[in-house]
């Protein structure tokens, strides 16, 4: 059995790694080795429990108020000895978090081949998203396998000189996770009283400060103009999000500020929403599969494939967020065009494609007879 270590520590990573862990666990020649950095402890644990995933190694590196430098140093210090002890045959990282970059770097130092799941996403702006754009660029330089969700992601990698034979278009594993969850959800989102609602999420570091102030003011304007709608906001635990959201949106009759939802509950909430306001990359990928228009409250996006369909980039200005939301509320034809757009991010088979490639390369000749 060839052992494949998967290193991750945030809830979005766990969602996107879960289908890979399941596919590896079912494979006759490959074995998953799950290593958590766990900087998103409570939200990560929810996803692990829902998908039935057990950690083999839990570094448990969540610390209140730690800086990016402190987190990165801690991951490298703790993961290095783990790799020396376990000596996996391959190491997988996902996306663009601190775990992604440091997992790839630790693998590179240990001379373990690295596979980058969700490779090739680019905005071209190192400050947006920060620090994610730099994380994925540096991870690319250390990768043996580049699992690109779309042809556009492949083209980004080719422009950077990545060898064509190391790039594999697989789709995005988040669609695997979404479809699996949608078919099995038993938990339900909090009762919305039957009223139509707009679902909101926001957590991006580059929006801290003025960006979140503007986002909250836009939501407040929309809530006041449209008392017939509810605005449901599961508020991220980061204090830089909590403070402006609760100060500017708390106490409004049709704005519901709730705790972060478990993944299954969040999928149910997306499925019932009127439309979604978000800065999340995963939501941009998931919502089109549910027929939900998405307004992305960022100035740039590395997921531009859907911008001509079910996704619109609106930035963090009050005027633009309100304008594009009003268009969805008041123009049924525009709403229908966005809701019916095809999802470019996959068909639910990405994890199996990745596992097949790993099996081919780690077990040349098909393994033992």
Q: Which of 290, 227, 235 is nearest to 257 (CA)?
A: 235
> Catalytic one among 89, 116, 122, 132?
132
Spatial separation of the C-alpha atoms in residues 153 and 157, rounded to whole Å: 6
Spatial separation of the C-alpha atoms in residues 137 and 70, rounded to whole Å: 21
Q: Is 88 helix (H, G, I), strand (E, B) or coil?
A: coil
Q: Does an H or E element contain 311, and which?
A: strand 311-313
In order, the DSSP letters of 146-187 are EEESSHHHHHHHHHTT--GGGEEE---HHHHHHHHHHHH--S
Spatial separation of the C-alpha atoms in residues 123 and 298, rounded to whole Å: 11
Which residue's structure tokens are 């057990």?
Answer: 54
Q: Is 205 a catalytic residue?
A: yes
User: Which residues, 6+ apart, have CB-to-CB distance to 174 below 8 Å?
Assistant: 15, 16, 282, 285, 286, 345, 346
Q: Is 299 a catalytic residue?
A: no
Asked if the bond preceding 176 is cis, omega within 30° of 0, the reply is: no
Q: Is 203 a catalytic residue?
A: yes
> Catalytic one among 11, 40, 146, 236?
236
> Catalytic one among 154, 203, 204, 312?
203
Total Cβ atoms within 10 A of residue 247? 11
In order, the DSSP letters of 106-155 are HHHHTT--EEEET-----S-TTTTTTHHHHHHHHHHT-SEEEESSHHHHH
**Cβ–Cβ under 8 Å, residues 277 and 219:** yes
> Catalytic one among 96, 286, 299, 359?
96
Spatial separation of the C-alpha atoms in residues 48 and 291, rounded to whole Å: 27
> Catalytic one among 3, 78, 168, 205?
205
Q: Is 118 a catalytic residue?
A: yes
Q: Is 78 a catalytic residue?
A: no
Question: What single DSSP character describes residue 304?
Answer: G
Catalytic residues, by residue number, are: 96, 118, 132, 203, 205, 236
């Amino acid at each position: 059995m060839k052992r494949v270590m998967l290193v991750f520590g945030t809830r979005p990573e766990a969602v996107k790694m879960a289908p890979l862990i399941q596919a590896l666990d079912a494979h006759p020649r490959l074995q998953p080795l799950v290593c958590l950095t766990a900087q998103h402890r409570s939200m990560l644990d929810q996803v692990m429990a829902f998908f039935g995933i057990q950690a083999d190694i839990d570094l448990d590196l969540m610390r209140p108020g730690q800086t990016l430098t402190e987190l990165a140093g801690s991951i490298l210090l703790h993961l290095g000895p783990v790799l020396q002890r376990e000596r996996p045959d391959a190491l997988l990282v996902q996306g663009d978090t601190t775990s992604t970059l440091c997992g790839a770097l630790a693998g590179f130092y240990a001379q373990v081949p690295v596979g980058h799941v969700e490779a090739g996403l680019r905005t071209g702006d190192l400050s947006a998203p920060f620090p994610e754009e730099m994380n994925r660029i540096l991870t690319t330089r250390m990768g043996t396998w580049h699992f690109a969700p779309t042809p556009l992601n492949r083209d980004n990698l080719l422009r950077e000189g990545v060898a064509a034979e190391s790039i594999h278009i697989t789709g995005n594993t988040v669609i695997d996770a979404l479809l699996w969850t949608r078919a099995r959800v038993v938990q339900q989102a909090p009762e919305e009283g039957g009223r139509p609602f707009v679902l909101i999420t926001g957590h991006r570091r580059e929006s801290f400060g003025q960006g979140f102030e503007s986002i909250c003011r836009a939501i407040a304007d929309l809530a006041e103009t449209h008392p017939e709608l509810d605005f449901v906001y599961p508020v991220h635990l980061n204090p830089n999000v909590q403070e402006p959201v609760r100060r500017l949106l708390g106490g409004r009759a049709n704005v519901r500020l709730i705790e972060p939802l478990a993944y299954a509950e969040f999928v149910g909430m997306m499925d019932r929403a009127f439309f979604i306001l978000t800065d999340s990359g995963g939501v941009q990928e998931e919502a089109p599969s549910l027929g939900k228009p998405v307004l992305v409250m960022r100035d740039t996006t590395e997921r531009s494939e859907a911008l001509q369909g079910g996704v619109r980039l609106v930035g963090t200005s009050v005027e633009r967020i309100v304008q594009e939301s009003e268009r969805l509320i008041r123009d049924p034809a525009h709403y229908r065009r966005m809701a019916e757009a095809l999802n470019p991010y996959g068909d639910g088979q990405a994890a199996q494609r990745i596992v097949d490639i790993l099996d081919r390369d780690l077990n040349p000749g098909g393994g033992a007879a």
